[in-house]
Each structure stands twice: as C-alpha cells, then as structure tokens.
Amino acid sequence: MNNNIKEKYFIYLLFSSLYISLLIGLYLNEDNLGGAAHDSMYHFKISEKFSENFSKTFNEFGNIEKTRNSPIFWIFLSFLSKFFSYKSIQFLNTILIIPFTYFFFKCLKIKYKGVKLLHLAFLSSFLFLSPSLRSLIIWPYSLSWGLFFFVISIYFFLKYEKNLNLCNSLKIISSLAIASYIYPSFAVFYLFYIYKIFKNQNIKTFFLVIFLSLIISLPCFYYIFSRDVISSFQESQGLNVSLIQSFNLSNKILIISTICFYILLPIINFQRIFEKILEIKKKKFYLIIIFCFVNFYFFNFPYSFLGGGFFHKGSNFLFGNNILFFLFSIFSILYLFSISDEKFENYLLLIILILYNPQLTIYIKYFDPLVFIIFLTLFNFNLKEHISKKNFRFYQFYGFIFLYYAVIYFKKLYFLDLEF
C-alpha cells in the first residue's frame, strides 16, 4: 500500500472518529456555549407555530417575537417537525458537519496546492473540534447553516479566481444570498466579493452581477421594511441600550481583534510573527500604538454576561480591570497588521468582521470558526510560513484546542457566568 492510499485511509479514519465524537456529544447533550440549547429550543418552539398558523407566525416573527434571526431556517424546521421529533432533527442536523468539512477541505486544496493533504485534513478537523460549531450543530441553529453556505460561496470564489467567468461569479452571489437569507449577518461579505468581481470583470458584467444581486435581495428588503427591525434588533439583545452604544467601534475593534488572535492561536508561528512585528517601520508602529490608545479611551464594554472574548473575560476575572486585555489587544492589532501585508483586501475583510457584529453583545460563537475559515481561504495569508515541516506542530494545533475546552470546563466546574 503506497503512502497516498495510507494517507487517505488515515484522513477517513480521522474524520469518522471526529464525527463519532460529535454523536457522543449529542448523546451527552453537549453545550459548550452554555446557551446553545436555550436558543435552539426557544426558536424551535416558534418554528412549531409556523405549522399551526404560518401567516400569523410570520407576521409576528421579528415584531412580537423579538429576534435578530431570519425566519427562513425556522420555517424549514417547521416542515421537518411534522415528521420528526426534536431529538431526531438534532441527529439529522449532525450530518451537516460532513459536507461542511468536505467543502472546507476542498477550499484548502484549491488555495494551497503543494501542501500535504494530511496537513490540510488536520486543519479541516478544526470544524469538528470547534466548541461553537459543535454546539450549534448539536442544538440546531441558523448560524451553522448560514456558515455552511458561506463556505460554499468561498469554494465558488476560489474556483472563480482560477476561472474568471460570469457563471462562477453568479454561483458566488447565489450561495452567499442563501447564507444571508438563513443568517443575515453574512450579507456584509458581499462587499468583499463585489470588490473582487469589480477588479476582475468588465463593466458590463459587473453591472449585470449588481442587477441580479438586487433581484435576489428583493424579498429581503420586503421583510426588513414590513416590520420594526430596529426595535427587534435592540430588544433581542436583552438590553435597553441606544444604537450609539451598540455601534461603539472601539468595543468592536479591540474585542474582535483579540478574538481573531485567540481563534488563530493553533496555527500561529510565533517566531515569524515576532519577526514581522519587528519589521514594522517605526512611524507605522507608533501610529498603531496611538490608534490603540484612542480606542482604549472610548472602550466601554461591560464585564457581564455579554461576552467580550477570552482575554476581556480573563482580564476582568483575574484582576478586576481591562489592563491585561488592553495589552493583548495591542499585540492582536499588531499581529493582524503584520499578517495583512498592507493589502487592501485583507483590511477590507477585517472591516467586514467589525460590520458583521453590529450589536453590543460580542460573543466568540459569532466568530468561531468563521475567523479560522476566512483567514485560511479569503485572507491573503501565507499559510506555508506556518505549515512547513519545521513550523506546523500538531501538538500546538491540538494543544490550543485542548486549551479551549479546558477553559470551558473550568467555567462549568466553578459555575462561572463567563460566556465568551
């Protein structure tokens, strides 16, 4: 048996074992997020109402029933609930992880030709091990399905970059539209795709894509303008806060930067990152530090149940202040700047990640494994600096994933209200 066949068998064994671990998680009612079961069952009860009175429930969704969710996924579940119990739907939903991982693996194969398939398989296995994704698949929720179709849009985008034709660009927009109808926040990635299409297509084709995009989004516009979206958006946070408080950019810049750093820890080559940070010119380095301190001044994120990420929670839990968090946010911003290599599309993706989370609450579950997927596929990121034989350390990759779970179970053991 040659090495390629052995490698393929090992990959099948790896993914099969991880899927079995997901089924065990289903049996044990695994909920790493702490609120995934509640959110899923709350919306599932609403979805059952669609079966009883579709028109009334649809009109109340987002008006009387305050939620930031789109009704599409829950309407689909309402049809399934006629034939299956909630537990059966949970089991069926676990199957999602298989095509999810398959398309992510295909994306990595397209982007990283020459990298060993085994290394790409280990990277793909992150989806099975992501605490957030596991919880959102065991407890069916629209975010997991929205993310799945977003990965399909990335797959078509990477194929589009190899073959710049209209057909591939329409596949990108169509799959992103499905992702956005299921989970509206993904619509902001249209900015990235349309920028890339504008760069690569002639004006006639570009405007055709714009026109078709508008046609696809008409039902969305109808839904938005037919109900009190602003009120629903505010009340669904469980907080009585103004829009200005919700959109505090300093909160988002600092917290989302540290969340990105936290999620990417398994693949960070620290030696190379320190080298790249030291390569930053003094003038730019000082500007970044000033930028950080300006955001420290306007930062106003409460230490409570509202999330905030690992470093914000850890800083306040250990020391009762944001000092440690601010130090990590400086390093995180320097890290993101250094790997962006001053490329506009990389900065655009970082801006999109901020726009992706317009509400006050900022949880890791919104970005895990989204950040991991984006940085390995859409971001102009030199993975080979991190995944060479010298630098790609499996003990580091799985060590940091183990750390994620250690923190989760520490939180549960001491009954800490620390949802990240």
Distance CA 43, CA 142 (A): 10
Distance CA 351, CA 290 (A): 19
Distance CA 154, CA 378 (A): 7
Last residue of a domain, one of 209, 235, 261: 235
Number of domains present in the structure of the chain:
2
pLDDT at 124: 92
pLDDT at 274: 85
The answer to whether residue 255 sits within a structural domain is: yes
pLDDT in tens, the chain (420 residues): 566 777 888 888 989 999 999 999 999 898 888 788 988 888 888 888 887 777 777 776 765 555 667 888 888 888 888 888 999 999 999 999 999 999 999 999 999 888 888 888 988 988 998 888 999 999 999 999 999 999 999 999 999 998 888 888 999 999 999 999 999 899 999 999 999 999 888 888 888 889 988 898 887 777 666 666 555 555 555 556 666 777 889 999 999 999 999 888 888 878 888 888 888 888 999 999 999 999 999 999 888 767 888 899 889 988 889 999 999 999 999 999 988 888 999 999 999 999 998 888 888 889 989 999 999 999 987 776 665 555 455 555 656 666 665 565 555 554 444 556
Tell me, yes or no, whether 159 and 297 share the same domain: no
pLDDT at 288: 95
Tell me, yes or no, whether 216 and 294 share the same domain: no
Tell me, yes or no, whether 268 and 159 share the same domain: no
Distance CA 14, CA 124 (A): 10
pTM of the model as a whole: 0.91
Tell me, yes or no, whether 155 and 120 share the same domain: yes
pLDDT at 265: 83
Last residue of a domain, one of 171, 204, 235: 235
Whether the CB-CB separation of 350 and 336 falls below 8 Å is answered with yes
Q: Which range marks the domain in which residue 20 is found?
A: 3-235
Tell me, yes or no, whether 304 and 251 share the same domain: yes
Tell me, yes or no, whether 334 and 367 share the same domain: yes
The answer to whether residue 67 sits within a structural domain is: yes
The answer to whether residue 419 sits within a structural domain is: no
pLDDT at 415: 43
The answer to whether residue 59 sits within a structural domain is: yes
Tell me, yes or no, whether 251 and 115 share the same domain: no
pLDDT at 412: 54
The answer to whether residue 50 sits within a structural domain is: yes
The answer to whether residue 147 sits within a structural domain is: yes
Tell me, yes or no, whether 213 and 259 share the same domain: no
Residue 408: half-sphere exposure toward Cβ, Cα within 13 Å: 18
Tell me, yes or no, whether 17 and 159 share the same domain: yes
Last residue of a domain, one of 217, 235, 253: 235
The answer to whether residue 418 sits within a structural domain is: no
Distance CA 211, CA 307 (A): 39
Tell me, yes or no, whether 331 and 367 share the same domain: yes
The per-residue b/e assignment along 158-194, b for 16 or more CB within 10 angstroms, e otherwise, is bbbeeeeeeebbbbbbbbbbbbbbbbbbbbbbbebbb
Tell me, yes or no, whether 179 and 328 share the same domain: no
Q: Which residues contact 55 (CB under 8 A, 6 or more apart)?
A: none
Distance CA 61, CA 47 (A): 10
The answer to whether residue 126 sits within a structural domain is: yes
Tell me, yes or no, whether 298 and 325 share the same domain: yes
The sign of the dihedral angle between the CA atoms of 185, 186, 190, 196 is positive
Residue carrying the six token digits 């997927």 = 373
